[in-house]
Amino acid sequence: MRTCGILLILVSFAAPAFAQQVDVQLDITNRSGDTLIIRKGGKVITAEQYAKRYVPRKALLYSAVLPGMGQVYNKKYWKLPIVYGGFYMLTWVAFSYNDLYNKYKTELYAVVREPGYVPPSGYTEAQLRSVTEFYRRQRDFFLILDGMWYLLQLVDAHVDAHLRDFDLNPQLKLSLGPSIQQNSLYGQAAGMSITLKFR
């Protein structure tokens, strides 16, 4: 069953993926010094102006103030649900572990204060200490992951703003597919290959 799932994932990635296509036409005849002129949607702008439309510091600042706003600034709206979905999931798991931690901590305090007390969970004092420590560690771990997710969305917004000028090549094609290679030691070997084409 697990092998079928892995095979299904690999086959779904075998379809070719194309880079983002931008309606940009290069006008090679118009050169002013070392500046390349780009025609986009009827307007003529220089390559430097096109690259500077998205300021990486602004994207970083927007994401720092309100997570996901750097992605909106970069016009990558599809990343917004991923950012907030990650925050929601990690925070929800951290709060779930915190609730369990508080529940067993309360039972542990009751067992320590009243020697004859039997907790509703039926755990002994040593088991309650162990369970309480486990849930505390898990809560702290997911809170750290939440902070790392915040830093990751900051880095994503900053790097994405830096790489906006890479949209100038609409001919870039990336494909992932199965491949068979001839090996002198083992004969034929099957696997996956990534092909990057510039037309």
Q: What is the pLDDT of residues 64-87, one digit of tens each?
A: 999 999 999 999 999 999 999 999
Report how far residue 136's alpha carbon sits from residue 146's, in angstroms, rounded to the nearest whole number: 15
**3 state SS of 62:** helix
How much is the pLDDT for 164? 76
How much is the pLDDT for 175? 78
Confidence category of residue 16, pLDDT binned at 50, 70, 90 = very low
Q: What is the pLDDT of residues 98-126, one digit of tens each?
A: 999 999 999 999 999 998 888 998 899 99
How much is the pLDDT for 115? 83
Residue among 19, 13, 21, 14 nearest 197 (CA): 19
How much is the pLDDT for 145? 97
Report how far residue 79's alpha carbon sits from residue 75's, in angstroms, rounded to the nearest whole number: 9
Q: What is the pLDDT of residues 40-68, one digit of tens each?
A: 566 666 666 666 678 889 999 999 999 99
Q: What percentage of the chain exceeds 90 in pLDDT?
A: 48
* Mean pLDDT of the 18-24 span: 45
Q: Which helix (H) or strand (E) holds 160?
A: helix 125-162
What backbone torsions phi and psi does residue 113 show, to the nearest 5 degrees?
A: -75, -40
Q: What is the pLDDT of residues 129-180, one digit of tens each?
A: 999 999 999 999 999 999 999 999 999 999 999 887 665 555 667 777 888 7
Residue 29 pLDDT exceeds 50: no
